[in-house]
Amino acid sequence: MNVLKNQGVKNFILLRLPCVGRVSPTFFLKALALGITRLVVIPCEEDYCRFKEGSRISTRRFLAIQNLLHQLGFGKDVFTIIRKLRKVHIDTNRCIGCGDCAYICPYDAIKIVTPGVAQINLNVCSGCGACAPVCPSIAIIPEGFEYESMSRSISNYNSFIRKMKSERKTPMVLVFCCQWSEFSALDKNQGDLSKDNVVILEIPCSSRVDSLHILEAFYSGFDGVLIVTCKEGECKLEEGNEKAKERVLSLKKLLAQVNLENRLEICFTSPKYVGEFDTYISSFLEKIGSLSKNS
């Protein structure tokens, strides 16, 4: 949001997309016709597209629109493009130099430098956040998906869950959704999902899924946690789904000690498998429902 603030934008409507390559020029023209005074597009940097050249295709399209708008007599700043990629930062005061982040980084962006602290090369970092959940001292700060802010948004549900549970007897489920995998779930009317007591939290890549956040979800009263990631070999980043799978398996061992291992699941799907996510979520809800009845 700081990006918009820097542009002097105060009131805005946010439209989130999996890829800017998805937007057709007529959309922008229609928006302007509706009376919207300014359009700001925030695509990835040129070489960072998770899909096939989405940012390059859109760049060509944007330039054409900009030209067209100029000819139609619109001002220069009516259509702005800001290239921005969320990156990861390291709090060197907390870093203990263990090297776990340097090992897991799929882009080799992190090095341990003397005197034993991690240093990140932001030109190479692509902001997947795989390093954050392996840091033993929580020193890694993925922009927009910081440990503290995610943790706060989970614990904020605490009172809501208590209220919901006293009103209805249905279980509450938290879904960690990789933004590249089941993004159509994010498009979905949240009302539909919250009717079933499902809360969706978006993460930049399933490798960002943090065992602490999962534990916090159970601690705050969620009855089940589902992690949604892409199918094997379809990760838009670097095998983030594999990392998430390993993490879930090792966390299940810990959870078994407090009888929660059946309440955590990972599912592999993406929008191209139409309806799969709905099937997963409804069977998961059913399973959690029957578990809650028994306990």
- Cα–Cα distance between 220 and 157 in angstroms, integer? 7
Nearer to another protein, 39 or 161 (CB): 161
Q: How far is the CB of 49 from another protein (least distance, A)?
A: 30
Q: How far is the CB of 220 from another protein (least distance, A)?
A: 10
Nearer to another protein, 182 or 210 (CB): 210
Containing 209, the helix (H) or strand (E) segment is none
Q: Which amino acid is at 25?
A: P
Q: How far is the CB of 133 from another protein (least distance, A)?
A: 8
Q: How far is the CB of 96 from another protein (least distance, A)?
A: 4
Nearer to another protein, 218 or 268 (CB): 218
Using CB atoms within 10 Å of the CB of residue 212, give its burial: 0 to 12 exposed, 13 to 18 middle, 19+ buried: middle
Cβ atoms of 247 and 238 closer than 8 Å: no
Nearer to another protein, 137 or 282 (CB): 137
The DSSP-derived string for 2-36 is HHHHHTT--S------S-GGG--HHHHHHHHHTT-
Q: How far is the CB of 212 from another protein (least distance, A)?
A: 6
Q: Which amino acid is at 266?
A: I
Residue 102's contacts (CB-CB under 8 Å, 6 or more residues apart) are 110, 111, 112, 118
Nearer to another protein, 202 or 210 (CB): 210
- Cα–Cα distance between 92 and 119 in angstroms, integer? 8
Q: How far is the CB of 258 from another protein (least distance, A)?
A: 5
Residues in contact with another protein by the rule CB under 8 A = 96, 98, 100, 103, 135-138, 211-212, 215-216, 218-219, 254, 257-260
What angle, 0 to 180 degrees and rounded to 10, lies between the N-to-C axes of helices 240-255 and 211-219? 40
Nearer to another protein, 75 or 136 (CB): 136
For 55, the 3-state DSSP assignment is helix
